[in-house]
Amino acid sequence: MNHIAPSPLPSLAEVYGAGAYAGYVRAHRLVGATPLALVRFRQPAGEFPDPPTDDFTLAINEQGQGRMRFDIGTGQNCMPFRLGDLVLKPPGVATRFAVDAPHQKSFISLPAGFVRDRLEEVEPGPAPRDFGRLHAGSFRSPLISRLLDMIWAETQDGHPHGRLFADGAALALISLLLRLQSPPARAPDEVRPLSPARLRSVLGWIEANLSESFGLEEMAASVCLSPYHFSRAFKAATGQTPRAFVTARRIEKAKECLADPDLPLAQIAHICGFADQSHFTALFGRHVGVTPGAWRRGLA
């Protein structure tokens, strides 16, 4: 028997209007001629999957702390919960959010048809289907944050001009998102180094795992970055590639261990994360210029 997949709900606001999430809602209103849905909600710590919906949903972090993991169809992101961070969910994708502390967010639902008609007006022909890179993770925009605050304020308590304001604000939102989608190109060689906090975190992780076998992916995951961005940012911060740094650290650790005459070379190889004694001897000789045994005899 063939099963037909159910159509996506028109709006994420409908997900929060009934069912398990209804108790989290603090405000819910429809504004403008389209209309647009505004939802403000508070949730406890936990994981909150959302089904696909037929709208663009622009959410903003309003209150909370801890760390947040989310996947809006382009892979998992992991980052601190920061006030003012924005996330733009495209239509037709299931999403998943998890936060390790209570939090408050609000979102505005922009119907897909309304958005795509506006994109067609701006760029006739094969118009873009979404906002490209903005769907890949969180982003920040003081202008958008302020505009969202104004939409909430201007549409409360039946304000006589609220509908007109909401209609104009929706167009302004689309314009601002388009601008953010295509920022001025950055020089190809400009790489931002790891922040001091992330650098301390990954150096501590490396030290704690020095005896284990690990690679670029594990180091990058320890600070919630992709391997590509981590590798470039690490080199910008330290002047060495992650692999070169770890190898140098293993060699320095081996020198410390060689000062203990009772430690066998095979055990030192294990402590310092080398594959075996042969691998240890070869790398040590390549970097230091003498074998581990000769180095040890020089200390005697």
Structure-token pair, residue 90: 């495209």
Lowest mean pLDDT among 19-23, 225-229, 279-283: 19-23
Same domain, 208 and 258: yes
Q: Is residue 187 part of a domain?
A: no
- The token pair at 74 is 């382009």
Please give the pLDDT value at position 130.
75
On whether both 170 and 223 belong to a single domain, the answer is no
For residue 4, is it within any domain? no
In a shared domain, residues 37 and 165 = yes
Closest CA to 76 of 92, 53, 54, 95: 95
Q: Same domain, yes or no, for 165 and 203?
A: no
pLDDT (mean) for 111-132: 75
Domain that holds residue 79: 12-181
Q: How many CB atoms lie within 10 A of CB 125?
A: 5
140 and 92, same domain (yes or no): yes
Q: Is residue 128 pLDDT above 70, yes or no?
A: no
Domain membership of residue 7 (yes or no) is: no
Computed from CA positions of residues 237, 242, 247, 253, in that sequence, does the dihedral angle turn out positive or negative?
Answer: positive
Residues 6 or more apart whose Cβ sits within 8 Å of residue 170:
32, 34, 36, 110, 114
Check pLDDT > 90 for residue 80: no
Q: Is residue 126 part of a domain?
A: yes
Same domain, 108 and 170: yes
Helical H runs in the chain? 12-17, 112-122, 142-154, 162-181, 196-208, 216-222, 227-238, 242-258, 265-271, 277-288, 292-299
Residue with tokens 């294990």: 270
Which tens digits make up the pLDDT trace of 269-293?
Answer: 999 999 899 999 999 999 999 999 9
Same domain, 135 and 158: yes
Q: What pLDDT is attached to residue 2?
A: 43
DSSP class of 261: T
191 within a domain of the structure (yes/no): no
Dump pLDDT digits (tens) for 10-20: 788 888 887 77
Any idea what the CATH number is for the domain that residue 98 is in? 2.60.120.10
More confident residue, 230 or 70: 230
Asked if 57 contacts 91 with a C-beta cutoff of 8 angstroms, the reply is: no
End of a domain among 147, 181, 215? Answer: 181
Calculate mean pLDDT across residues 212-227. 92
Band of pLDDT at residue 260, cut at 50, 70 and 90: very high
> Once rounded to an integer, what is the mean pLDDT over residues 251-270?
93
Last residue of a domain, one of 139, 158, 181: 181
Cα 199-62-19 angle, rounded to 5 deg: 115
Does 28 score more than 80 pLDDT? yes
My answer on whether 116 and 211 are in the same domain is: no
Tell me the CATH number at 238: 1.10.10.60
User: 175 and 235, same structural domain?
Assistant: no
Closest CA to 281 of 265, 258, 297, 260: 265
* Any domain includes 292: yes
Q: What secondary structure does DSSP assign to 124-164, as a single string? A: -SS--SS-GGGGGS-B--HHHHHHHHHHHHHTGGG-TTHHH
pLDDT of residue 189: 60
- Tell whether the model's pLDDT for residue 187 goes beyond 60: no
- Do 104 and 152 fall into the same domain? yes
CB 176 within 8 A of CB 131: no
Residue 1 lies in a domain: no
Asked whether residue 97 falls in the same domain as residue 212, the answer is no
- Verify that 204 and 237 share a domain, yes or no: yes
**Least confident among 63-72, 99-108, 136-145:** 63-72
Which positions ≥6 away from 227 have C-beta within 8 Å? 216, 217, 220
Domains: count for the chain: 2
